[in-house]
Structures are given as structure tokens and as C-alpha cells.
Structure 1
Amino acid sequence: MEDYRTRYEAWLASDKLDEASKEELRALRDDETELKMRFGSTMEFGTGGLRSKLGAGTNRMNTYTVAQATEGVARLIESLGEDAKKRGVILGCDSRHMSPEFDRRCAEVLSAHGIRVYLFDELRPTPMLSAGVRHFGCIAGINITASHNPAEYNGYKLYWEDGAQPTGDVADKVADFIAHSDIFEDVPAPEKSDWDLVTMVGADFDEFFIEKVLAEQVYPDAVRRDADELKIVYTPLCGAGYRMVPEVLRRIGVKHLYPVTCQMTPDGSFPGLAKPNPEYPAAFKEGIKIAEEVNSDLIIANDPDCDRVGVMARDKNGEFKCITGNQMGSLLLDYIFSALEEQGKLPADGYAVKTIVTSEMATAICKAHKVDLYNVLTGFKFIAEVIAEHEKSGSGTFLLGYEESYGYMKGSYARDKDGVVASMLITEMAAWYELKGMTLIDAIEALYEKYGFFTENSAEIYMEGLDGADKIRALMDKLRAEEPEKIAGSAVVNIRDYRAETSKNVLTGEVTGTGLPKSNVLYWMTENGNVVVARPSGTEPKIKFYILANGRTEEEANANAKACTHSLEDMLGMPHDSLKK
């Protein structure tokens, strides 16, 4: 096996490597730690594609690793025949550093293989890439984005012909083609590209997408009736939502839309944002200033590729409070069902989809409204599979899909989370509640009173470095081997190992299947219905943990969540209160 120094010297010796990259690498010649990080391994291509820091090296995002990944995609498409090549690939990107350059390099490699390319004329929200795959009938799509990671990161997301991210089988084939190609010798040079095969995508498709989003309104009159009072502060966090979301909000009748001006221009440096992530209150700092000036009760923020959305709303004391992804999912579910019922339009065959790490309040809401609910593994590709199965059988009406990490999907035009349609629905819902004299915080409290109290926490442990993957495997193996008898003082009654595809009834000893695809996920449920889940991230070197707790009161639910977290820390051999999000 090549060591990191051999790889490093091979890069420096290649006449295909540009001079700027060589200068960058020469400056690192004596930095063994950095060289090991950059050349000690290669990025692993998985169902989430690629994600890493920018820079020269086999374990970094650069034009060479991007081109090699695209070579793998191109070879897979070639193996599928001429029709697949003619169907083509649509390319998109966000506002990150090097995103347009990587986008162009993808177009060069694909067209050099005789594959048709659809290329957005500038950055677009990620859901538009997914919708584009379906609209143009493409075999695949590639989006250059690292979602809400810090500015020094970029990434590469692959979408397959249904508009969803690929299954493990497709990703494994791409990874195999990548592994059997030389990063310098086997990838077509830019001058080999055929730009006659490239079609630019612009305003016409924008209009198509906007019309699809507008068709997903649930109670269209709400915003128009509340237009004089409704005030929305909006920020794309220097990302791809800067045009599309304001345009959609204006079209549904929002009169008072206040942009966070300093964050409305796409900028991969994300100035003033340590993490451009709408999950964190710090991302709303500038938005709160404007909301206070204009007396708005609602701030909407998209992440840089506009597939997620976060919200802050005023509580009864006039203070801004973050609405979690779980809370927003529950709000949207109940709003969609209730507003449709109010109009006599709730379909008898309606269904919703959530992930196994998402709040169980959804179960109570769906039961009350007689709507079927499906639970799937983490990731919107699994939500998309449920939709595809229903469409194939001609059964069911899809109403909403979501997960706790601030992603929501409505409609059939895309097969991924959509920050554009979610922003529209949240705005419409805020108007609907305002007409009833309620804020979104009031609405959350009403849900708790109606359906019970649920509290969800998440935490993560980063394991970076060359041995990070080994450490993650070892910790997951430890958790598998040391099954807990109790969590937070309550007996564990169900243990699911999604990698082994087993669900164990601890009380009877009976073992059945999970009913879901194989995945490296562990799930423990206690006698009182609290849940703890552990799973490695698909895009970052970390293990994520989820606590899903409930109680008869808000205080009891919060106490159960804290006790579950302490039990998890005991399982991990960590001091209490040391696990952090």
C-alpha cells in the first residue's frame, strides 16, 4: 500500500498538477502531520458523495479529486449504454469557494465522455438540482456543496435518476470505478471537453420550479388575509436561497419581507458566521437585529445550499426562541392536516414519512388525524423510496416528509429536502396561526397540551485523523457488545441493530427483522417509551447520538431527556454533561 509520502511525491512530480497546487504542497514538505492528513488516505465515496476541506491532496476537495469522482460517475453511465449518456447529467453548485470551478470541471469530464450535460448558469438551491434530474429525465445529477459546514469545506453530492441521492449499490459502483482510475492519467484534460453537449439552464427552469413550489400551498388565503400584519425577516446565510425564496414569498402575498442585507449576497467566506447553520442561534444574530427594528415576530434562515431551514420566533415574553427541527416538523404536520381538514380537503389515503431519529410526536399527530406514518432510516433517499413505492402502486397521497435535522419535503417534483417549499409553508403557517391570534411558539405549546410532551436532544463525538474511521468502528462495536439493561432507570425493552437487521424484544427474547435496509445504526427503546439512537455520520468523521424522550409534563420530558443523556454518557465512559451538540 502506498504511504502518504509516496503519494505526496507523486503529486509533486506530476506534470498534470498546476503550479499553484505544487507551491501549496512544497510549503508543507516538513509538516508530517498535515501531509498525513492530506495524503494518508483518500476520500471515501459513499451515498452522501464526498465532503472534506479544500486543498491539495488525495483527502481534500480540489479540481483533481472532483474530476476523478466525476470520472467514476462517467464510467458508470457509460456502462449503462448510449441511452444513459443521452439522458445526461445536470450540474449545480452553491456559494462555497471553488464551487463554480468544480462545477465546470465536472462538465468537462462528462462531456469528454460524450455524456450530455445540463449546467445551471449560476448557483441554485439544492432541491432545484433534484427537481432538474426529474424534469429533464437525466440519469444523474451532481451538486457541489458542503451544506452547512464551515467555510473551509466543500463537497460533492450525487443524485440518481429518480432525483434522490443514490443507494449503496450505485455509490459502491462509482467508488469502484474511482479506485480503478489514476487521478492524473485516466481523467480527461479540460481541452478534451465537448461544450456542444452542454445545455445551460436558467430562467425558464426557475419559473418551472417556482410554479411547482407554489402548487404546494396548503391554505393560500392565509398570507393574503394576514398580509398587512405579517412581517418576515429572511436570510439565506450568504447562500443559494438569496433569489428563489424571496421571490416565492412575494408571490404568495408577503408584503413585508425584510432581508438581512449583509447576508443576501452569495459569499463562500460566510462573513460573521463561524458555522452557516440555521440550527444554531448564532446564525440569527443579524436577523434578530432587523426583527427588533421592524417589530417582526418571525425570522427564517436557509443553509447555504437552501435545502434546510431554521426559524426563530418570539415567545410570550417577546424574546426570540429557536424552533427545533423536530418541533417544526410537528408544527407542519399538524398545520397541513388541520388546514386541509378545515377546507374539507384532507385525503383519506394521506401519508407522511419521517426518520427513526425524529420525534415520536409525529405518531400522535398522525393517529389523531387518521394519516398513515412511515418510519425510515436517516436520509431523504429513504423518504424518497417510500414515495416511489406508493407512486408505483398508485396508492396514497404524500403529505409531508421530514427529519429532525431541519429538512422538509412536500410535493413530487423533487426527491430531497427543500428549503424553498419549507420556507413558503412556514410563512403560510405563521399567517394561519396569526389569524387565530397565535404565534408559532404558542402553536408549539398547544401541540404539547394536545398530544403530550416530547423532548429531543442530539450530540456528537468527532473522531478526526487517520485513525478516525477505526475509532468510530471500535466505539460502535463496543456499544453493540455491551447492551444496556436500563436507560434513565427504565428497563430497555427493544434493541434494534440495523446493521445486523435485527429487532430484539428484550422481555421475550424474540428476534425479528427491522423491516428497513441494512445500516450501521443502534437503537434502544425503554419501557417508558424513551429512545436512544447511535449512528456514524455519512459525511463527517463523527458519531451522532439522538435522545427522544417524553413525559406527562414538559418538566418530566426534559428530565427524562437529561437522564437518558447521562445513561448514554455512562455507556460511553464519559463524565455527565460532557456530550455536546
Structure 2
Amino acid sequence: MNYKEEYERWNVFEGMDAGLKSELQAMNDKEKEDVFYTNLEFGTAGMRGVLGAGTNRLNIYTIRKANVGFAKYVLGLPEGKERGVAIGYDNRHMSYRFAIESAKVLATYGIKSYIFESLRPTPELSFAVRYLKCAGGIMITASHNPKEYNGYKVYDDTGCQLIPEWADQVVGYVNEVADELKIEVVSDDEAYPYMTWIGEEVDEAYYKEVMSIEVNPGMEKDDFKIVFSPQHGTSNIPVRTCLTRLGYNIVPVLAQCAPDPDFSNTASPNPEVPCSYDLAIKKAKEVDADVVVICDPDGDRLGVVAKHDGEYVLMSGNQSAAVYLEYILSQLKEQGKLPANAVMYNTIVTSDLGELVARSYGVDVEKTLTGFKFIGDKIRKYEATKEKQFIFGYEESYGCVVKDFVRDKDAVQAVLTAAEAGNYYKKQGKDLIDVLNELYQKHGTFKETQVALAKAGAAGATRIKEIMDNLRKDAPTVIGGVKVTKVEDYQSSTCSDGSTIDLPKSNVLKYYLEDGSWIAARPSGTEPKCKFYFSIKGVDANDAASKTEVFQKDMMKIIGE
């Protein structure tokens, strides 16, 4: 059916939710096309979209459809019904409703569910799956997206987001649903026997594990001041509880602590956006804090601002992770606790700096595709074989995990690591930026940036495809005046030097340049954007910055933007 026929199918449905019915009747033709031209699909982090009526929007009907697919997947697992599914949700509009709808669909198939009594961060959902020995998990969240969005992420029995092999099974079941409007769901009364509320017991078990990641637990902490913001999201209680119990001096940004689906007191809930730190930095200046830490709404990403020479300096996800690595590995080595078979994971669009830090300590490094599920899957495999021992995993997008009792990004762990590293280096007369600069002196100066081209709607999807197709048909041989020495195409699993890529296929292109820099292009799996990653190597910070500007301008010229 075309979008007009799909619209009519929804508009005439007698059981349509009243709020969605009003939206449908107020739509113009352009809006109808946008919300019905396609279906929401699973991307690198599950299903995420704008809230509202339509097959290309997130609503109770598209949520039910997704849950039918996941329920059939769970039924195919050993004792899937009895082991059940853990369900978490964040502060966004409709999150609680979608969590209950998910539990009701599962109950319709006779599957138990364990639902958090109130909002919790994504990493705690991952932990809960493992702690309760569930067959899987569901997290209702749109992570760092704007307030208009919500999302649906699914997890395996290790607490890891479904890898493509298993996500494809879910998608297959989802696609078998002929009409999402006619999915039969049990009543609340019929669902209750299958639903168990969870809370304090799981919280305390999670907090205990988080607090156990300290590398130097005996350090004095009173003179290290931390300003913290949960950005109106889920990390407020976990972060403040763990840091307070460990004795840290934590100053919350109270205006951003209350759960708020509209994110009323923040310019952006995304730690990748500099304006999201405005209120926290203002508070840091008032109290003379040593470091600022902010989490995204679902508590899986952490942004860090360090006080350096009297100024508050924002660190990128690549920079902060490199400093965490330096701290953790140097201390483990000094204590004689660094495993001989240690391995660190990051992604194909992550800076080279972290890899250089890890290898300087004899730690092996393995790359994965973008998406933390691939890191979680690596952990699972080596947990079984014992061939290597996990030591750290991270993405450039402000997400990392220190200990593997969680199999997703964990900002609560990251806050503790940032606090401990900052406190340790302060006692040596240094700050986090000083340590970063030392790493640059040792390993080379890198500047990592990202350009995200927003291309919404049907026309946007066509344009994103056109950009990637054109780059494949006419690959640049020179970018910014620097020769391209190698091209990797992760969709065809091939390299221009004749080698092959041993990773799942993904729509990513990566260009290696003669000066040690690289540039990558990939469509986002969760937003209507085409992303370009720049990892530029320079002789110093000024050189790297000026080269970055040249590379960005030339890359946009190459793709015709």
C-alpha cells in the first residue's frame, strides 16, 4: 500500500487511540506521507523514532508490533517463558505506557516480565537481565535524542543488545505481523499474574558492583569537588548514591535532577552538544569544582568537563576514554594486577589514541562496528573461551564500560572512573587535561570531530542513500590535499589493498590518509542523519585543528553539500 492507503487504514480503524485519532485527522498531505511512507526499523540501537500516529512513528501499535516479534524470539529460547524478560524505562513521554504495553504483549504469549517500579538507567536494565537470569530485556528509551523521540531496545540473556544475527530473527517475526492495529493483547487483569515489580534489591546489587570498580579505593576524596547533572533523566539516584557512599563531594545541578520528559532546564539532553553543559558549568564556577560530569537521559553516556588553568574544558568521548584507560592501566600495572591476556574494545570510528594507550601497556585491542552490542558480544565470546580478559570497552560517542557486570554503555561506572582518575591526578598536581596533553606528547596529537547531516523524511532517506552510493562509485583519491592511501568498505567487507574485513556487513566507508588521519562515513541507525567522522593527526593541537577544518570543508564539497 502507498502512504495514502496506509493513512486510511489507520484513520478508519474503530479502536484507534483517541489521541492518535486526533493527530491523524489534523494531518496535511505532506505529514501523512512522512508518517506512513515507511515503517520504523531496527537500527544500530533497536527501534527509535518520533512519537505520534503512523507506521513511521513510535506509538502503542508500533510498540506492540515490535513486542510480538520479540515475544516469538523469547519463546524460541530454552525456558524462555519461565525465565522471562526484564523491562526498564526512562523519563520520556510514553515510556511507562510503552513498558506496560510491552509486558502485556509478553503476557499474551505467556511470558513473565520483571518491570522496574520507576525509571532506571539503561545499564541497570542490562544488569537486571543478568542478575535475574532472564531470557532477555527491553529498555524503553531514546537515549540522548530530543524530547519528541522515544525508543525500544532489546537485549539477550547476557544483558547485551541483540546482535544482527538475533535481531534479524526478531525483525522476521515483526514482518509477519500483517496488521499492527489488530494485535490482540490481554487485559491489565489478565497480564498481572505474569508481571513482577522490581526495585531496591536490584538497585543495591547494581550499586555494589559499581562501587567495586575503584582501582584505588583508599584515596581521600573530600578535597575533590564534582558537579553532576543527570539532564532530567535516570542517572540521578544511582550516581549520587554511589558517589556519596564512597565519600565524594558531589554538587548536583538541582534544576536538572527532577525527571522531566520535556527537558525543561537544559538546552540539549545530549552530552555530545556543548550547550548541554551550560547550567552545570555555571554551577561549577560558583562552587569552584574540579570536574563537571553530565549523563544523558538514560544514563549510558557521560560527558566530562575538567577544570584546567582556571577554565572549564570540555573533553570529547575519545579524549576522556583515553585518559580513563591511562589511569586504569597504569594503576593496574603498578599494582601487579594487569592481566597478561587483557583486551580492550573500541569501534571502527573511534580515535586511534585509545588504542595507542592500550598497546603501550601490552593490552590487545580489537575493533568492532558502531553499536555497543558488538562490544558486548565480544565480551561474551571471550568469557566462554577464556582466551582473553576484558579490561575496558568504549565508543567515541561518550559511552564506555569498565567492568562487564553490565554489557552496555554505563555512565554510572564512567562517572566513578572520571571522579577517581581526577582525584588521583589532582593529588599529583595535575588535572585530566594535563594527562590528555601528556598522552598527546607521547602518542601524537589527534583531533576528532563529527559532522552529522540531518536529512529527514522520504526525501532525506533518498539523499542519504545517494551520498553513500556516490562515494562508492566515485571514491575520492585526495581529501583536503592529502592522498587517500586505503579505502575500507564495510558493506562489501573489502579494502582497496585487496584485504577483507572480518566484521558483520555495515553501510560504512573509511578513508585512510597519508598523514595518519582517517575519515569515515555512515548513515545513523537511530536518526535521519548521515554521519562523517574525522580523526585528524597533527604535529600539535593548532595543526590538527586547522587540518580538520580543511578536511571537513573538502569532504562536504566532495559529497555536494
Give the structure-2-normalised TM-score: 0.97
* Structure 1 position 84, deviation (Å): 1.4
Cα deviations by residue, 1:546-578 (Å, 9 ceiling, x for unpaired): 11111222222223322322331232123xxxx
Quick one: structure 1 residues 475 and 187, their matched pair in 2 at CA, closer, same or farther if it must change by over 3 Å?
farther
What is residue 264 of structure 1 aligned with on the other side?
257
Residue 92 of structure 1: SS of its match in structure 2? strand
Shift of 1:189: 4.4
Runs of 4+ deviating beyond 4 Å: none
Partner secondary structure for residue 466 of structure 1: helix
Match of 1:200 in 2: 197
| 1:136 to 2:128 alignment | no
- Is residue 59 from structure 1 mapped to residue 56 from structure 2 by the alignment? yes
- Alpha-carbon distance between aligned partners in 2 of 1:106 and 1:350, rounded to the nearest angstrom: 39
Q: Contact 1:71 / 1:187 at 8 angstroms: preserved in 2?
A: no
Q: Which of 524, 531, 544 is 1:544 aligned to?
A: 531
**Preserved CA contact (<8 Å) 2:73 2:169:** yes
| Shift in CA distance, 426/185, structure 1 to aligned 2, threshold 3 Å | same
Measured in 2, the distance between the counterparts of 1:20 and 1:229 equals: 52
Letter in 2 for 1:456: E
Match of 2:7 in 1: 8
Structure 1 equivalent of residue 171 of structure 2:
175
Residue 293 of structure 2 contacts residue 304 of structure 2 at CA under 8 Å; is this kept in 1?
Answer: yes
CA pair 361-151 structure 1, distance change in 2 beyond 3 A: same
Q: Secondary structure at the match of 1:200?
A: strand
Counterparts of 2:17 and 2:490 in 1: how far apart (Å)?
A: 45
Matched to 2:289, the amino acid is S
> 1:56 Cα deviation (Å)?
1.6
Within 5 A, what are the aligned runs for 1:238-257? 238-254=232-248, 256-257=249-250
Q: Establish whether residue 427 from structure 1 lines up as the match of residue 419 from structure 2.
A: yes
Could you tell me which of 97, 100, 105 is aligned with 1:101? 97
* Matched-pair contact (CA < 8 Å) for 2:108–2:191: yes
Residue 531 of structure 1 is matched in structure 2 by 518
Aligned with residue 467 of structure 2, among 442, 460, 475:
475
Letter in 2 for 1:41: T
Give the aligned residue type for 2:191. Answer: D
* Cα-to-partner distance string for 1:242-295 (whole Å, 9 max, x where unaligned): 1000111112221x2111011111111100324211122211111122212211
Matched position secondary structure for 1:556 = helix
Aligned to 2:181: 184
How far apart are 1:208 and its partner, in Å?
0.7
Provide the C-alpha distance between the structure 2 equivalents of 1:195 and 1:418, rounded to a whole number of angstroms. 31
The equivalences for 1:377-416 within 5 A come to 377-416=369-408
**Pairing 1:41-120 to 2, within 5 Å after superposition:** 41-78=38-75, 80=76, 83-120=79-116
The residue type paired with residue 3 of structure 1 is: N
| CA distance in 2 between partners of 1:35 and 1:171 (Å) | 29
SS at match of 1:243: helix
Number of equivalenced pairs: 560
Counterpart of 1:442 in structure 2 is: 434
Backbone CA RMSD of aligned residues? 1.5
Q: Which amino acid aligns with 1:557?
A: A
- Shift of residue 341 of structure 1? 2.1
Pick aligned residue for 1:237 from 226, 231, 237? 231
**Greater alpha carbon shift after TM alignment, 87-96 vs 168-177:** 168-177
Give the 3-state SS of the residue equivalent to 1:149 in structure 2: coil
Are the counterparts in 2 of residues 47 and 166 from structure 1 also a CA contact under 8 Å?
A: no
Q: Distance in 1 between matches of 2:77 and 2:429?
A: 59
Structure 1's unaligned 5+ residue stretches are 506-510, 575-581
Aligned residues of 1:46 and 1:171 also touching (Cα < 8 A): no
The corresponding residue for 1:578 is none
| TM-score, with structure 1 as normaliser | 0.93
Q: Which residue of 1 aligns with 2:271?
A: 278
The 2-side partners of 1:102 and 1:399 are apart by 35
| Aligned counterpart, 1:311 | 304
Asked whether the 8 Å contact 1:55–1:62 carries over to 2, the reply is yes
Equivalent-residue separation in structure 2 for 1:450 and 1:335 (angstroms): 15
Question: SS at the partner of 1:101?
Answer: helix
Q: 1:364 aligns with which of 341, 356, 379?
A: 356
Between the aligned partners of 2:336 and 2:301, the Cα distance in structure 1 is 30
- Give distance in 2, aligned partners of 1:19 and 1:345: 60
> What is the deviation of 1:370?
1.2
Mapped contact 1:534–1:546 kept (Cα < 8 A): yes
